[in-house]
Structure 1
Amino acid sequence: MAPSGQVAEKQEPPELGRDPELKSWRCLVFYLCFYGFMAQMRPGESFITPYLLSTDKNFTQEQVTNEITPVLSYSYLAVLVPVFLLTDYLRYKPVLLLQGLSYISVWLLLLLGDSVLHMQFMELFYSLTMAARIAYSSYVFSLVCPARYQRMAGYSRTAVLLGVFTSSVLGQLLVTVGRVPFSTVNYISLGFLTFSLVLALFLKRPKRSLFFNRAAPARHGASPSELDRMNPAPSQPADAKPGRAPLGAWRDWTLVRMLRELGDHLRLPQLRLWSLWWVFNSAAYYLIVYYVHILWNVVNPTTDASSVYNGGADAASTLLGAITSFSAGFVKIRWALWAKLVIAGVTAVQAALVFFMYSTSSIWLCYVAFVLFRGAYQFLVPIATFQIASSLSKELCALVFGVNTFFATVLKTIVILIVADKRCLGLPVRSQPPGLLAGELPSSVCSVCNVQSVSRTWGRSGENTSAPSAWKQRPSCSSSTSCSS
C-alpha cells in the first residue's frame, strides 16, 4: 500500500500544474466569446434602410437602391484581398481594431451624414468591417492548440450567432414596444460598438499566424510545407542577388507552391462541386441580404416605425440558420453520391423562395420567405465547409475559402453593376429578381447536369462498389466541363 501511496503523491503535482493552464484557457475562451458577442450588438442595423428613407434622412428609394447600396459591393471587392493578407501579416489584433474603428465610422456617418456621398463612404467603411470578419474567425484558432480547435469553433460561432440574435431582438423591442426613434436606436448601437472596441484593445496578440508568421517546426520533424519552403533555395540561379534570395524563397513557398498544389486538388470532383456552390450561392445570398430591406420597405411603405418588424425577421432567420446549421452536422448520407441532388434541390427551393418574396404583396409572407431562404443557405454552409476542408491541409483550406469568397464577390459585383447601378440598368428593387437569381440558377443547373454523370458512374461501378471508389473511376474533367458549358 505504501508504494501506491507514493505514486499517488507523485501524480498530484502535474495535475495541480495543469490547473493554471486550464483556468487561463477558460478565461481566454470566455473573453473571446464575450468580445464576439458584443461586436454583434448593433440593434439599429436591421433598421438602417427605413432610417435612410425616413424623414430624418429623407433619401429617396432610387438613391438607396441605385447609388448607395452598390458601393458596398464595389468597395468590398477592392478591400477583400488586402485585408485578408494584412490580417495574417499583422497577426489579427490590429485588423480587429480596424474593424471596430470602421464600425464606429459607419454609425457616425449614418447619424451625422446628410448627403449621398456621406452614405457612400458609410458603405465603404462597412465593407471594411465585412472584410475584417475573417480576423475574428482566424484569431480564435491562433491562441489555442489544435486539440481544442473544434470546441473553440463551436464556442465562437455560438457567441456570434447569439450576439446577432440578441441584437435583432433588442432592436425590435426598442422600436415596437418602446417606440424608440430610429436615430436613438442607432446611438445605442454606437455605444455598444464603442464598448466592443475597448474590449478589442485588451485582446492578446498571438505570436503566430497561418502564412506570414508560421510556428517553428515540430519537434519530430518539419512538416511537408516547411520542407517545400526550404527546397527552392538551392535551385536559385547562380547570378541571383544574395540579399533577395530569402524573398524569392518566400514567394515561391507562399504563392507558387500553394497555387500549384491547389490546382492539383481541383481535380477532386467534390472540391470542384462544393467550391462552385460556394461561389454561385454565396453571391446570390449576399445579393438578397443587401437588398431585402429595401424590398421590405417597398412591400410595406409605412411611416409608422413601430410597425416595422425587420429586427424580428432578422432574429428569426438567425435562429433558424443556427438550428439548420447545427442539424447539418447530424445528416448522414453518402455525400459523394447524393451531394449534387441535395445541392440542386436546396438551390431550387431558394430560387422559388426568392421569386415568391419578390412577387408577394404581403410583408409577413415576405418575412417568412426570407427566413426560410436564409435557413436553407445556412444548412449547406457547414456541409460545404466540411466537404472542402476534409481533403485539404489547413493552409490550402484557408486559401480555397479565400479564393471562393473572392470569386463570389466578383460575381456579385458584376450583377450589381449591371442590374442595380444607375450607370447601367438601374432597375428598381421589384425588377431585380432575374439578375439576383443569376447566382442561384447556374449553381442549380450545374448540379443537375452532373447528376446524370454520377448515375452513369454508379452504374458502371456495380452495385457492390462504394461511393468513394465510384468517384475515383469518374473522369476528372467531367464536372468542370459540364459546369463551364
Structure 2
Amino acid sequence: MKMETLKRWMRDWKYPTSLLCIYGFCSTVKPLEPFLIPFLTGPDKNLTMEQVTSQIFPVWTYSYLTVLVPVFLLTDWLRYKPIVVFQCVALFITTAMLLWCNGVPEMQAVQFTYGVVTSCDVAYFTYLYSIVDLKHYLKATSYCRTAQLLGYLTGSVLGQILVSLELMSYNHILVFTLVLTGIALSTSVLLPMPKTSMFFHKKRSASDGEGHAGTEEDVQSNGQKDGAELDGSKPQQQMQEDSSDCDNSSSKTGGCGDVLLRLWRDFLQCFSSRTLLIWSAWWALATCGYNQTVNYVQSLWEHVEPSSNFTVYNGGVEALSNLFGAAAAYGIGFSSADWSRWGEVTLGTLSALEGGALFAMVFSANIWVCYCGYIIFKSLYMLLITIAMYQIAAGLNMERYALVFGANTFCALVLQTIITSVVVDSSGLGLDIVTQFTIYGTYFSIIALIFFLSGLHTTMCRKPEKETQRENPEETFKVEDDAQIIIGTKF
C-alpha cells in the first residue's frame, strides 16, 4: 500500500517540482560570491586588481555568448534533464577549480566554465514546463523561483556571517559550497526524464499522454485564447494557421532544418510588432548595462574601500538588494497602472534614476553611498524588467515567449561583449574601474533619454481608452495568469 502511494506521488507534478526546488536552492547558495574580489586579490590567490578586472572577468562574457545558442538548441534536443545535470556538473567543476587552482590562465578557465553554467539556466524552467501539467504552471513556477531566491538570499547572508565573524576561511567556504553542489547534483539525477520537448520531440503516443505535462499544443492553445495581440501583429486566426503549418511540418520530419525554419518564422512574426520591439530593445540595452554593473561592482567597492583595512559587507548588501528587488517585482503585480500607455515614460524616468545611482557610486568615494546606490540600482532594474516581461507576455504564447526572451538575452550579450572588449579587456582600452562606471552611468542616462522621449511621443499620440474601445468593441485582453507565470520565471 505504501509502495503504491509512493509511486502515485512520483507520478504527480509535486515530485519533480520538489526535486527542482531542492536543486534550485542548493545550486544558488554561494556564500563566497559577494566576496570574490577580496578572495582573488587576497593572500589565497594573490592576483592583482588589473588581472582580475581586465584579464579574468571578461572571459565569462565571451564564453556565455559563445555557448548560449548551442545550449539553447541542445536543451530541447536532449529533452532538458541532461542539460540540468550537466549544469550542476559544470558548477561543481567551477567551484573545485576556484578552490584548488591558481594563476591567471586557471582563473580564466574558471570563468569559462561558469559561462557554461549560466548558459544552461534556460534548462531549469523549460524542464519544469515539459514535465508539469499546464494547470500547475503557476504554482510550480512560484515554488521553484522562490527556492532560487531563498538560495541567493541564504548564500549572501551566510557568507556575510561567516566572513564577518571569521567562522570560516574562504577556502573552507568553497568546500561547504562543494557539498551543497553535490546535493544538487544528486537531486538532478533523480529527476524524471520528459518524453517530449518543445521542438524536436513533439509527437506522443496515447499512452504517453496520460498524466503527463501539457504539450506544446496545449500551451499554444492557451496562449492563443488568453494572449493579447500586440500592435502590428498578424490577426489571431492567421497566427493560429502559421503555428499549425509549422507544427505539421516539424511533425513530419522532425529535422534540425525544420526546427530552425520554424524558429525563424516565429521570430519574424513576433518582432513585426512595434510594441514588442520597444520593450525588447529596452530589455537588451538595460540587461547589458546591468550585467556589466553587477560583474564589476565589487572592483569598485574594493577601489573605494580596500578590504584589507575595512570589514566588507558585500554579502549583506547583496542580500538586501535581492530582497528589495524581489519585493519590488512582486509589488508591481498589484499596480493598476496602464503600462501600455505610461510604460515607456516609466522606463525612461527610472532608467535615469539608475544612471544617477551609478554616478553617485562613482563620485561619492564613500563605501556606504556605494552600497546604497547599488541596492537602489538593482531594485529598480528588477522592477523595470518585470514590467517589460509583463508587456511582452501579454501577446505571446509560451513557445514564442521562450524564443523572444532568448533573443533579447542574446542581443544583451552581444552588446555586453562589445563593451567588455572595448572598455574592460586589457587588449582593448583597459580603462580603470572609475572610468568604467562613469561610462555605465552615461550609458543608462542615454537609455533614459531615448525611452522618455519615445514615451512622451507615444502618450501624446495615443487615443483615449474609451475612444479606442468604441472603435474596437470586440478587442479584449486576458493576460494576467500568463504574465504571472512569466514574471515568476525571472525573479
Bin of the TM-score, shorter chain as denominator length: 0.7 to 0.9
Q: 1:321 aligns with which of 320, 325, 330?
A: 325
Residue in 2 aligned with 1:238?
none
* Closer, same or farther: CA 468–423 of 1 in aligned 2, 3 Å: farther
Secondary structure of 1:465's counterpart equals: helix
Find the aligned partners of 2:396 and 2:66 in 1 and give their Cα distance: 28
Shift of 1:246: 3.0
State the 1:438 CA deviation: 6.1
Q: CA contact under 8 A between 1:281 and 1:439: conserved in structure 2?
A: no
Superposed CA RMSD: 2.9
Q: Return closer, same or farther for 1:101/1:428 CA change in 2, 3 Å cut-off.
A: same
**How far apart, CA to CA, are the structure 1 residues paired with 2:141 and 2:468?**
32
Once residues 434 and 217 of structure 1 are traced to their aligned partners in structure 2, the CA distance between those partners, rounded to angstroms, is 58
> Which residue number in structure 1 is paired with residue 413 of structure 2?
409
Aligned to 1:211: 199
Counterpart for residue 373 of structure 1: 377
Amino acid at match of 1:201: V
Structure 1 position 20, deviation (Å) = 4.2
Q: Which moved more, 1:30-39 or 1:432-441?
A: 432-441
Partner residue, 2:178: 190
Out of 1, 22, 25, the position equivalent to 1:34 is 22
Other-structure match for 2:304:
299
**1:228 aligns with one of 245, 269, 276:** 245
1:468 to partner: Cα distance: 11
Aligned to 2:257: 251
* Displacement of 1:304: 5.6
Q: Is the 8 A contact 2:361 2:374 kept in 1?
A: yes
TM-fit CA distance, 1:116: 0.3
Query: Using the alignment, how far apart are the partners of 1:469 and 1:192 within structure 2?
Result: 58
SS in 2 for 1:125: helix
- Structure 1: 5+ residue stretches without partners: 1-15, 234-244, 471-485
CA 1:52–1:23 in structure 2 vs 1: closer, same or farther (change >3 Å)?
same
Count of residues in Structure 1 that have an aligned counterpart in Structure 2: 440
> Does 1:175 pair with 2:163?
yes
Tell me the secondary structure at the aligned position of residue 432 of structure 1. helix
Matched, 1:141 2:158: no
CA pair 445-303 structure 1, distance change in 2 beyond 3 A:
same
**Amino acid paired to 1:118:** E
- 1:268 is matched with 273
In the alignment, is residue 69 of structure 1 matched against residue 57 of structure 2? yes
**Amino acid corresponding to residue 368 of structure 2 in structure 1:** W
User: Equivalent residue for 1:105?
Assistant: 93
Unpaired runs of 5+ residues, structure 2, are 210-214, 222-239, 473-491
Q: In structure 2, which of residues 45, 69, 76 is the aligned counterpart of residue 88 of structure 1? A: 76
Work out whether 1:289 is the aligned partner of 2:291: no
Contact kept in structure 2, 1:348 and 1:444, CA below 8 Å = yes
User: How high is the TM-score relative to the length of structure 2?
Assistant: 0.83
In structure 2, the CA distance between the partners of 1:406 and 1:230, relative to structure 1 (3 Å rule), is: closer
Cα distance per residue 1:127-159 (max 9 Å; x no partner): 011111111121112111111111111111111
Report the alpha carbon displacement of residue 226 of structure 1 after superposing the two structures with TM.
6.4
Kindly indicate whether the alpha-carbon contact (under 8 Å) linking 2:270 and 2:400 is maintained by their aligned counterparts in 1.
no
> 1:180 Cα shift?
2.2
Q: CA deviation at 1:37?
A: 0.8
Q: CA deviation at 1:442?
A: 4.2
TM-superposed CA distance for 1:429, in Å, is: 0.9
2:224 match: none
CA contact (8 A) 1:99 1:129 kept: yes
- The alignment partner of 1:407 has SS state of helix
Q: Does the aligned pair in 2 maintain the 1:207–1:213 contact within 8 Å?
A: yes
The answer to which of 255-264 and 171-180 deviates more is: 255-264
Deviation at 1:88, TM superposition (A): 1.3
Find out whether 1:118 has 2:106 as its counterpart. yes
Tell me the SS of whatever aligns to 2:184.
helix
1:303 is paired with a residue of what secondary structure?
Answer: helix
- TM-score, normalisation: structure 1: 0.84
- Residue-by-residue CA offset, 1:183-237 (whole Å, 9 max, x unaligned): 221221122112211221111121122222225499999775663136659xxxx
**Structure number with bigger Rg:** 1
Given the superposition, is the C-alpha separation of residues 257 and 53 from structure 1 closer, same or farther in structure 2, using an over 3 Å criterion?
A: same
Structure 1 residues 230 and 186: alpha-carbon distance in aligned structure 2, compared to 1, 3 A threshold = closer
